[in-house]
Chain A
């Protein structure tokens, strides 16, 4: 497999995604003729450093989930490069950057030990006919790492680490509440000692008090096991809380990516500004100018010309209608795709 040079500007990278694209064909008629494409993910570039959390936010249908699934090739990407610093694929055990999209099936299975996933729906992501012990053991079995006795010990430890008890082992998922089920999902994700965890809306199905418990747990585990998270969510407050850096997506493209604090305080993209202003604040005396974005999110099958956000953007000029903005690093570690990013004075929180 081709070894790829590390991105020179950013150090300590674990995941480096370049120009990732995933187009779903629209088929029509008897012959399943392809009449168009839904550009669910269209030229996404982002990176995750070791031990950090990158939040990925955006409205529903913007391609957050598709992007995270394309990274681990649950969807086969149309184009792009996904560089991941892998240990298992390196002959001498030294972590080395590999392009996941060039791996064959066998290598891909191997590398999935290092990339785990936590799903949104704690009910449907657990097999109802398996006990908790079987669910958590399954990744170990698949990768041939299950050893009688020793593995059982690991499983009990994991279960206790996520806040469940050893006597829960023989129970089935339906016997647990939503928050507990999400903990089982987290324990399963950690069974193989991954380095990167893709969290796809892990707390959006949970109640606020359980959500807080789960977020705290994820943060503790990150410190303990030196995990990196790609945290996909639509709740901006949750994302700000858990992320070191945040990427904002709009209709298949990354609009802006920066450190969490920087992004929320000094947004450079009008979409980020509007999104932040629309978040309802839990304070009855807070009076803000809400920027009400007109209309709906653009249809990724028929996106507008130029900048995809221009029909809803209040700063749009003629150039935005014709020319798609490039995703560029305007300030150190602050990336944005907007023609007018330099001149606009946008309001953060």
Chain B
């Protein structure tokens, strides 16, 4: 038997290269938590899509529903949270051919309809849509080595071609088999090398406590990418890290995205990080999407008063102006007791009495794929 190349084949041609192809379409998503004090609408009417090879950033303050959105896509919303409305359409391109040896076309799966413990979700989760979490400390099991973590993902989700059944000019028909233990280890070492861990042959046998914070987060990225996912959900991947390590990690993510045409959903509250990573940005406030625009439009022409205030409240590097920071007055409201009308109105500098506290703003298009939910822009 001829052994196929073991090199991780992120550059392989078996993935669609058309950048504009939609991968995930979220339509009017609603997630609610039914707790003792009432119902918390953690995500309320979220609509956006992610195309292949594109990076979508989701920004907002803590508690605004960023992470719940990410978990909803993978059907991992913790109890008592429930998806109560909307749909998450996943345009699935099956990577491996079926039993008949034929590749299938793209099929559309509504993730909200799937059984969260079912076979299909478990194939997608980790295998086709991978996730990296904020806490590199607590997301790795302390009793397993880095290699064991990688092994688990690889043996569950990776198949290797056995032989070419027929080469029909257009597509290669191949038979696939699961990876063996030795191959999984080889892939694991290769992945660790890719994410820039020195001496991967030795580090693969290291336990999490033997690795530094930056190395742990790199192991997390290696785990996520070892399955060659079509999309990576990165939930605050660099928040716990220092700037110099953060710069390294962001570099690795950008590089791997380019070689693999992978989509990234990047969740953060750091406006500097998102400016350098995202193509499109969704701004969330109290579970609602307040603005969505291309990255340059959002930073240079923000429409929603919340986005404007958020951008002004970060101190900027550069010549010192001595000015005070523009802060957003007041506090984030109690999620059980949301203000009427627009949820941002008690803190809004452009508050219009009699209007903002009564009417719920609609999702309005204000220009080239630039959407905003604010009464200032409604007729």
Contacts and interface: CB of A to CB of B under 8 A. Distances in A.
A65 to B, nearest CB: 14
Interface in B181-225: 198, 212-215
A241 B272 CA distance: 16
A264 interface: yes
A240 B320 CA distance: 8
B331 to A, nearest CB: 6
B311 A282 contact: yes
Given A208-B61, A209-B327, A278-B243, A215 B315 contact: yes
Contacts of A329: none
Contact of A279 (B213, B215, B245, B272): B272
Contacts of A284: 275-276, 278, 295-296, 299
Given A209-B309, A209-B327, A59 B246 contact: no
Contacts of A276: 317
B242 A297 contact: yes
B137 interface: no
Contact of A290 (B247, B316, B326, B328): B247
A60 B295 CA distance: 30
A166 interface: no
Contacts of B247: 278, 280, 290, 292-293
A167 to B, nearest CB: 16
Nearest to B297: A284
Interface in A27-86: 59-60
Contacts of A179: 331
Interface string B238-280: 0000111111101100000000000000000111110110100
B94 interface: no
A12 interface: no
Contacts of B243: 59, 234, 236, 275, 278-280
B310 interface: yes
B277 to A, nearest CB: 9
Contacts of A180: 331
Given A179-B331, A207-B269, A234-B242, A296 B215 contact: yes
Contact of B214 (A238, A264, A275, A296): A296
B245 to A, nearest CB: 7
B244 A275 contact: yes
Interface string A141-182: 000000000000000000000000000000000000101100
Nearest to A349: B317
A282 B320 contact: no
Q: Which of B213, B273, B315, B327 has the most chain A CB atoms closer than 10 A to its own CB?
A: B315
A266 interface: no
A219 interface: yes
Nearest to A217: B327
A37 B310 CA distance: 45
Interface string B296-331: 100110000000011101111111100011111101
Contacts of A207: 61-62, 269, 332
A237 B244 contact: no
A177 B331 CA distance: 9
Interface in A288-343: 290, 292-293, 295-297
A209 B276 CA distance: 21
Interface residues of B, number: 47
Q: Is the interface of A mostly helix, strand, loop or mixed?
A: helix
B317 A209 contact: no
Interface residues of A, number: 45
Contacts of B296: 284-285
A6 interface: no
A177 B315 CA distance: 22
Given A265-B319, A282-B272, A60 B313 contact: no
Contact of A295 (B198, B325, B331): B198
B313 A237 contact: no
B314 A59 contact: no
B311 to A, nearest CB: 7
Contacts of A222: none
A345 interface: no
Interface in B39-87: 61-62
A261 interface: yes
Contacts of A292: 244, 247-248, 251
A238 B270 contact: no
Interface string A240-261: 1110000000000000000011
B330 to A, nearest CB: 9
Given A179-B331, A279-B272, A349-B318, A208 B310 contact: yes
Nearest to A220: B324
Contact of B316 (A213, A237, A274): A237
B275 A177 contact: no
Contact of A278 (B246, B299, B324): B246
A131 interface: no
A125 interface: no
A224 interface: no
A110 interface: no
Interface string A262-280: 0011000000001110111
A212 interface: yes
A210 interface: yes
A237 B314 contact: yes
A193 interface: no
Contacts of A211: 313
Interface of B: 61-62, 198, 212-215, 242-248, 250-251, 269-273, 275-276, 278, 295-296, 299-300, 309-311, 313-320, 324-329, 331-332
19 contacts: A59-B243, A207-B61, A207-B269, A208-B61, A208-B271, A209-B327, A210-B61, A212-B314, A236-B243, A237-B315, A240-B315, A240-B320, A278-B247, A280-B246, A280-B273, A281-B316, A286-B275, A292-B251, A295-B198
Given A208-B269, A209-B310, A211-B313, 9 more contacts: A208-B313, A212-B327, A215-B315, A219-B324, A279-B317, A280-B243, A280-B275, A282-B311, A297-B244
